[in-house]
C-alpha cells in the first residue's frame, strides 16, 4: 500500500500563512516586508513570527537595510525554499489527483483497505 499524499506535506511549509509567504516570494526576486504584510493581510508581529520560522528552517533569508532614509526589510527565497515550495505543490497536486479519481466518492465499505468503514445512513 502506498503512502497517502498528505504524508508528503511539510508542516513548516503547509501552514497557510507560511505557504502564502513562500508563494508571494516565489513570484518576485525578493519581496519587501510591508508589501508581504499587506498582501497577506497580516499584522507586523504575526508576519515576523512566521518569517522567523521560515528563516530558521533555511527557506528564506531576511535582509534589513535602507532605501533612501527609510528602513526596509527584504525577504528572499533560498534554494531550499524554492525546493520546499515545489515539493509542497507536488504533494498537493497528488492529493487533488487522488481525490478526483473516478470512484473517489464511492462508498468506502466497498474498499478492501483496512480501517475504512461505510458512513452511517443519514
How do beta strands 70-77 and 60-67 pair?
antiparallel
Residues 18-69: pLDDT tens digits?
999 999 999 988 999 999 999 999 999 999 999 999 999 999 999 999 989 9
State phi, psi for 75 to the nearest 5 degrees: -120, 130
Q: Where are the alpha helices (DSSP H) in 58-100?
A: 79-100
E strand spans, the chain: 31-32, 60-67, 70-77
Predicted confidence band of residue 81 (pLDDT cuts 50, 70, 90): very high
Q: Selecting from 3.40.30.10, 1.10.10.10, 1.10.1660.10, 3.40.640.10, what CATH number does the domain 7-103 have?
A: 1.10.10.10
Domain-wise residue ranges, the chain? 7-103
Predicted confidence band of residue 109 (pLDDT cuts 50, 70, 90): very low
39 burial class (0-12, 13-18, 19+ CB within 10 angstroms)? middle
Residues 63-76: pLDDT tens digits?
999 989 999 999 99
Amino acid at each position: 500500500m502506498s503512502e497517502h499524499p498528505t504524508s508528503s506535506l511539510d508542516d513548516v511549509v503547509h501552514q497557510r500563512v507560511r505557504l502564502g509567504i513562500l508563494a508571494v516570494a516565489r513570484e518576485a526576486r525578493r519581496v519587501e516586508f510591508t508589501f508581504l504584510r499587506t498582501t497577506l493581510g497580516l499584522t507586523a508581529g504575526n508576519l515576523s513570527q512566521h518569517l522567523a520560522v521560515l528563516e530558521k528552517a533555511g527557506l528564506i533569508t531576511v535582509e534589513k537595510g535602507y532605501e533612501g532614509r527609510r528602513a526596509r526589510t527584504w525577504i528572499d527565497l533560498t534554494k531550499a525554499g524554492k525546493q520546499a515550495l515545489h515539493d509542497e505543490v507536488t504533494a498537493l497536486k497528488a492529493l487533488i489527483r487522488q481525490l478526483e479519481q473516478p470512484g473517489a466518492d464511492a462508498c468506502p465499505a466497498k474498499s478492501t483497505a483496512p480501517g475504512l468503514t461505510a458512513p452511517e445512513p443519514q
